[in-house]
Structure 1
Amino acid sequence: MTDANPPSRTGTELSTDRLAVSTVADLCADLEANVAEVIVGHEDVVEHVVTAMLGRGHVLLDDVPGVGKTMLARSIATSIDCEFRRIQFTPDLLPTDVTGVNVFNQQSREFEFQPGPVFGNVVLGDEINRAPPKTQSALLEAMEEEQVTVDGDTRELPDPFTVIATQNAIEPNRTYDLPFAELDRFMKKLHLGYPDPDEEAELLGRTVGNHPIESLEPVTDRETIVAARETVAETRVERPVREYATRLAGYTREHARVGVSPRGTIALLRAAQARAVTTGRDYVIPDDIQTEAPVVLPHRIKASDRERDGATVVENALERVPVE
């Protein structure tokens, strides 16, 4: 679907703290090409992770072990020259192991805050569902408000801040379900799936010797990502597009036990803004909404008995809700 009368702004009149739309589009292409040095195939998934990061969102990678979830997260983080932290979630992990803790300094006779691994620009939460809900809840404030409160003191997290979490999709007896409030804080839930035979053969050829992740170099830095996020945040979402997104969310509320929350609708529009910029536009069209909805909305829905899952609800919404 195209816009017959697209807005005329070109993106050349810029404030000092953001980039031209064309520059951000080129940056996304560079990031995706760099990740492709490590990740064979899955171009759509890589693109979704990049747009989520630019849209100020977090990503949940859900699949069976061994398909490259952690390697994808590492490749994205390595491609950006910024603070990367990894949290290996285990059943004995404590909330303070994530957020940090106040430690008494014998010399100064005062408590000093030792920041946890959540204090990074790109935080990889590996197998997040292996930790109990109490530990998982340590991320709730961080993911929503980009801050952490420990012993009554609130500390801001670095800018940008993005969580890329992986989830073990099997072994249900050894994992914990993610709380619904936590799922709702992930902008996108993505699945890689198995590679096709040609992709797997190419993957094997790259990794028989030294793994390509070891030689991967950054293609951008923290300051550029912050400026690119500003460009995405200023991408226009006109009222008819906002109303279309609202109608989609309304459909899910009417046809599921739990539908998409307002937070989910906001995430959908932010993802659509990033999608628009990657294609060289500074305005959102319904196509952007329709492309992002299948990965932004389903995990926020608890389907009714008549529907199989959230993905079915969203599929039906896209078919039946008109674009006006």
Structure 2
Amino acid sequence: MALFDMPLPELRAYRPQIDEPDDFDAFWAKTLAETRAHDPAVSFEPVETGLTGLRTWDVTFAGFGGHPIKGWFSAPADAEGPLPLVVQFHGYNGGRSLPHCWGMWPLAGFAHFIMDVRGQGSGGNVGDTPDPVGSGPSHAGFMTRGIADPESYYYRRVYADAVRAVEAARSHPLADPARTVALGGSQGGGITLAVGALVPDLAAIAADVPFLCHFGRAVTLTDSNPYAEIARYLKMHRGKEETVLRTLSYFDGVSFAARGSAPALFSVALMDQVCPPSTVFAAHNAYPGEKEIEVYPFNGHEGGAMFQEAAQLRWVPKALNRAV
């Protein structure tokens, strides 16, 4: 593996023109209004994990279309609340996994919620949430499901679910809505950028090697999945480029980043061929709020891994202290 994108000084200055649709904000206002029209009921069922240092609840809430979405809510065992809240989104084709996998933030004194991304959870971590919505012809994976129209595109449902996940997690009595942080890596980082724009009162966000950014460059720069799913779809569906790029323009993390306002911590790996560094810097550089970025020069998509987690554990409390 070697450096394949722009040199770091050029990346720090990279501000591409994103082909954003005129009705971007109206599209998302309509999507969230439709989603919130369904019963917002949330259930929290206590579960036994064998971990004496935390308590965990099996969560079900209504996402896009009123569809049931799963998650785990955890908090320190002896906490009385209200606690600062971390809402986390996992990587591509992962799932909410098992509750003992998410102990870091409760051990740091936070309430924590991990959302199960619908239809995923068969690679890396197991998931429990189906996606009941069908789609037209697509390439294997999730990137091209419903890609012929923004209304039917897979990530419309996922981003709407993620907004509802924040609302659901905030409804727990141990959570402090005013001290809510959204974070995630890869796909979770891209979802975090969307949530940062669509939930304007977050206290902070942290997007680690974010996916779903600068689609127009990503699909022509890397042969790695998941972006390569889109290229392979277009290889077969000749002449559909304009339609596909129009759909993706409603879901680009750069456009969401440009609407962010909470303090933000990004990370990027300069040898990352899954989420090329120029796509990450495009989002970071578009972000108008207070921001920092951790750069890992000799890493691929693993990015900073445990080092980035340590950076988040240092950065998040400081961001929350400034927010109150």
TM band (smaller chain): under 0.3
TM-score, with normalisation over the residues of structure 2?
A: 0.27
Which of the two has greater helix per residue? 1
Q: Which has the higher contact order (CA 8 A, sep 6+)?
A: 1
Say which one has the larger Rg: 1
Taking structure 1 as the reference length, the TM-score comes to: 0.27
Higher share of residues assigned strand: 2
